[in-house]
Structure 1
Amino acid sequence: MQNQVARFTKSRRKTLGLTQTELAEKAGVGLRFVRDLEQGKTTLRMDKVNAILALFGHEAGPVPMPQETSQ
């Protein structure tokens, strides 16, 4: 999932013509956090991830994982 969030964030940011610095300022997070997010860092604070995603009208939350079928 993390790579999906990274790709989504970077794509939306570029579509809106924002620099990483501008995105960080608008979301109230640090530039380092935006860089880490876009690079797919696996340990990030969800409140900060959601602060960024909220700018794009989205949020991260619990999603059921597909169940493996036993044979």
Structure 2
Amino acid sequence: MTLLSKVIKAKRKETGLTQEDLSYKSGIGLRLIREIEQGKTTMRVDKVNQILSLFGMELVPGPKPRNHE
């Protein structure tokens, strides 16, 4: 599981949303929501930001974390 997938899944659960709810509210397909939460490593940044925007977040460049799997 990637850091991004952990964040999205945690935020979704924190806000009480199902994957279906997140799909509907973000306008992103349910399949992609599921793939991201399962650790998909290749995806479009604009789609990720569509999801993250629901939580007041966005994907931005930053230093690569050390010792991250």
Gaps of 5+ in 2: none
Q: Secondary structure at the match of 1:36?
A: helix
TM-score (norm 2): 0.85
State the partner residue of 1:69.
Answer: none
Q: Which has the larger radius of gyration?
A: 1
Q: Percent identity?
A: 52
TM-score (norm 1): 0.83
State the partner residue of 2:30.
Answer: 31
State the partner residue of 1:40.
Answer: 39
Structure having greater relative contact order (Cα 8 Å, sep ≥ 6): 2
RMSD (Å), alpha carbons: 1.5
String of CA shifts for 1:14-70, please: whole Å, max 9, x gaps: 11111001001100110001001111101111101000000001000211347xxxx
Runs of 4+ in 1 over 2 A off after TM superposition: none
